[in-house]
Amino acid sequence: MASLLILSQQPPPLHGASLMNQRTVESPALREAYDVTLINITTARELSDTRKFETGKLRVFAGQVWKLLGAVVRRRYDIFYITLSTDGPAFYKDVLLWMIAAPFVRRRVLHFHTKGITQGSAPKLALVRFVLKRSSVIALSAFHGREVAPYARALYVLNNGIPVEAPAPPVGDPVPRADAAAPPMGALAPRADARPAGAAAPLTLLFFSNLLVEKGIFQFLDVCTRLRAQQVPFRAVIAGKALNISYDRLRSEIAQRELETVVMVKEAVYGEEKVNVLNEADILLFPTYYKGECFPLVILEAFQYGLVPVCSDEASIPEMIEQGRDGYYYPYQDTGAFAECIKALAFDRDRLRTLQANGRAKFMEKYTFGKYEENLIQILEAVRTHS
């Protein structure tokens, strides 16, 4: 059996990248294909500690170096795989780990979960070129791949995937692709005679992310304000761990906008409560402009649970969402466009159900964790046999 040395950031802290890393190393299919050795290269315990230099992290890093040296000296690995950080002190830490392992393992794979590796100072860019030229690189999307393609020895695109947790929601059947494209949003404007029976039931909008300003939480509230002013029936739920905005400040912002009766803050949710939140929502509203955004898992969650994602056009999102077929995307600051889109869907529930069904079908076709496992193993085999 071929051997695989994995260096990756495992939770805690829990975020999209660390969750994918954890699922990857625990993958039964990967462990059937490879004899896996894992070294956890996380140094932060909380999300607020990431991208910060702290002396305590030096002791943790020294332990990682010691484990890595022991691993590569005792054994000859077929592939060395590392999820390289893209900025901050973590970038230099991970590059040093790569340099320690590289002389011992000829086949090297870099898997990036965030964008921005080519941004920064001249010394950083020199290191990036040196490392990428001597590695095969996995990017999350074609958009992501364009950043690293000029430097990588070989480039592969691997979309994220998540486990199938939800049964097919009762959102109807997907529309065949030839007939599936929704008309432009102008044609979706609500008509007095287009409102089916029961359409007065409010839509449920969901913000489902760590509470960072850059994830678009204030844009989310601005959209809610617009919908309220236009008397669109809706309710909204905000679920996420407080980071650079506190729950007290968030509730104060909601009160200032006089949204207390329609916007609920549930803080972070897990397990059955998370499932309930997703099952009760109709639309994922995610106007993110986070600089590290790349291939948000929350959109895959939305597709799985039958939510229509209405998101910003940040990073890979336009590749994930087929505009008008299974969701919509706009510039994050265009809260008017978000509001008009949601207003139109509130008064055209048939269109809403079609979008929901198309998203669920896309998830099952492209974004399950089983599909991710299959594609990752194919990439690793290509690296092992052709490098």
Listed in order, the ranges of the chain carrying CATH 3.40.50.2000 are: 2-162+368-386, 177-366
In this structure, whether the domain defined by 177-366 belongs to CATH 3.50.50.60 is answered with no
Q: Do 115 and 82 contact (CB within 8 A), yes or no?
A: no
Q: How far apart are CA 335 and CA 285, in angstroms?
A: 11
Indicate whether 192 pLDDT > 60.
no
What stretch of H or E contains 205? strand 203-208
Q: What is the pTM of this model?
A: 0.89
Indicate whether 191 pLDDT > 60.
no
Phi, psi of 223 (to 5 degrees): -65, -45
| Tokens (6 digits) for 81 | 């795989």
Average confidence (pLDDT) over 73-97: 96
Least-confidence region, from 33-37, 162-166, 353-357: 162-166
Q: Do 362 and 303 contact (CB within 8 A), yes or no?
A: yes
Phi, psi of 194 (to 5 degrees): -100, 5
Residue closest to 115 by CA, chosen among 81, 144, 151: 144
Indicate whether 195 pLDDT > 60.
no
Return the number of other C-beta atoms located less than 10 Å from residue 146's C-beta.
Answer: 12
Average confidence (pLDDT) over 10-32: 95
What stretch of H or E contains 100? helix 88-101
The fourth-level CATH superfamily of domain 2-162+368-386 is Glycogen Phosphorylase B; (3.40.50.2000)
Q: What pLDDT shows up at residue 171?
A: 58
Average confidence (pLDDT) over 368-377: 98
Indicate whether 47 pLDDT > 60.
yes
| Tokens (6 digits) for 330 | 């706009």
User: Could you tell me which residues come within 8 angstroms of residue 368 by beta carbon, excluding any fewer than 6 positions away?
Assistant: 161, 162, 163, 164
Residue 128, amino acid: V
Residue in the block written with tokens 């229509």: 308
Q: What pLDDT shows up at residue 183?
A: 39
- Compute the mean pLDDT over every residue in the chain, rounded to the nearest whole number: 92
pLDDT band at 138 (very low <50, low <70, confident <90, very high): very high
The string of DSSP codes covering 162-199 is: B---SPPPSS-PPPPHHHHPPPPGGGG---TT---TTT
Could you tell me the end-to-end alpha-carbon distance of the chain, in angstroms, rounded to an integer? 18
Return the number of other C-beta atoms located less than 10 Å from residue 232's C-beta.
Answer: 20
Q: What pLDDT shows up at residue 85?
A: 95
Q: Do 45 and 15 contact (CB within 8 A), yes or no?
A: no
Q: Do 205 and 281 contact (CB within 8 A), yes or no?
A: yes
Q: What pLDDT shows up at residue 178?
A: 44
Indicate whether 186 pLDDT > 90.
no
Residue closest to 298 by CA, chosen among 281, 191, 139, 375: 281
- Helix or strand or coil: residue 367? coil
Q: Where does residue 173 fall: left (phi above 0), alpha (psi -120 to 50 degrees), or beta otherwise?
A: beta
Dihedral (CA of 274, 42, 371, 308) sign: positive
User: Could you tell me which residues come within 8 angstroms of residue 340 by beta carbon, excluding any fewer than 6 positions away?
Assistant: 185, 189
Average confidence (pLDDT) over 366-374: 98
Q: Do 17 and 50 contact (CB within 8 A), yes or no?
A: no
Q: Computed over its alpha carbons, how large is the radius of gyration of the chain?
A: 22
% of the chain with per-residue pLDDT over 70: 89
pLDDT band at 51 (very low <50, low <70, confident <90, very high): low
Least-confidence region, from 113-127, 173-187, 234-248: 173-187
Q: What share of the chain is helix, strand, coil (3-state, %, to 5)?
A: 45, 15, 35
